[in-house]
């Protein structure tokens, strides 16, 4: 059982507390205020740590990853599935479809619903968390298009 769950159970009266002093059970079940204060502070600290992690994961780190930005070396998508692996997890990305055909995009897994970016459209996706690790891109059969991708971290 996690420490924070134990504290919640104790405060809710779901856990029996046995007070032992000098190796003997104490008849008075009253908890010393200093001990209860320590338990409460430990519980609060655990919640503060969770809140800090929550905000840290939503704070951009200012790193940018790009694909297909070089006009001499465009990122061409065909009917063959293309996997883009991020160097580090990103919060958001923008995919600009510069080609003539629609490109289909899956994020992190092919088992998730796909999004589409038609010719000339920009697809923007913001997860708010650093959770984007892969993009899978594909066009319809016999089609190809060029895209640019900018991922923000």
Residue 62: the pLDDT is 79
pTM of structure: 0.66
Residues 76-94 have pLDDT tens digits of 999 999 999 999 899 999 9
What pLDDT does residue 121 have?
Answer: 96
Q: Which two tokens stand for residue 57?
A: 């994961």
Nearest in space to 107 (alpha carbons), one of 84, 129, 87: 84
pLDDT at 1 (0 to 100):
65
pLDDT in tens, 9-32: 777 777 776 777 788 877 666 777
| Spatial contact of 95 and 122, defined as CB atoms under 8 Å apart | yes
Query: What are the beta bridge partners of residue 147?
Result: 75, 97
**Phi, psi for residue 44 in degrees, rounded to 5:** -65, -40
Identify the structural domains of the chain with CATH numbers, from first to last: 3-58 (no CATH), 64-152 (2.60.120.10)
Q: How many CA atoms lie within 13 A of 138 on its CB side?
A: 11
């Amino acid at each position: 059982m996690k420490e924070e769950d134990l504290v919640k159970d104790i405060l809710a009266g779901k856990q029996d507390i046995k007070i032992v002093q000098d190796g003997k059970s104490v008849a008075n079940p009253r908890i010393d205020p200093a001990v209860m204060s320590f338990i409460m502070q430990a519980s609060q600290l655990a919640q503060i740590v969770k809140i800090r992690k929550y905000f840290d994961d939503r704070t951009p780190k200012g790193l940018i990853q790009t694909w297909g930005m070089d006009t001499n070396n465009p990122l061409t998508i065909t009917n063959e599935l293309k996997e883009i692996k991020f160097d580090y997890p990103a919060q958001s990305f923008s995919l600009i479809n510069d080609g003539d055909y629609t490109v289909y995009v899956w994020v992190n897994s092919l088992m998730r619903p796909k999004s589409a970016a038609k010719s000339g459209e920009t697809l923007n996706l913001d997860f708010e968390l650093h959770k984007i690790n892969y993009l899978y891109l594909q066009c319809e059969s016999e089609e190809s298009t060029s895209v640019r991708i900018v991922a923000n971290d």
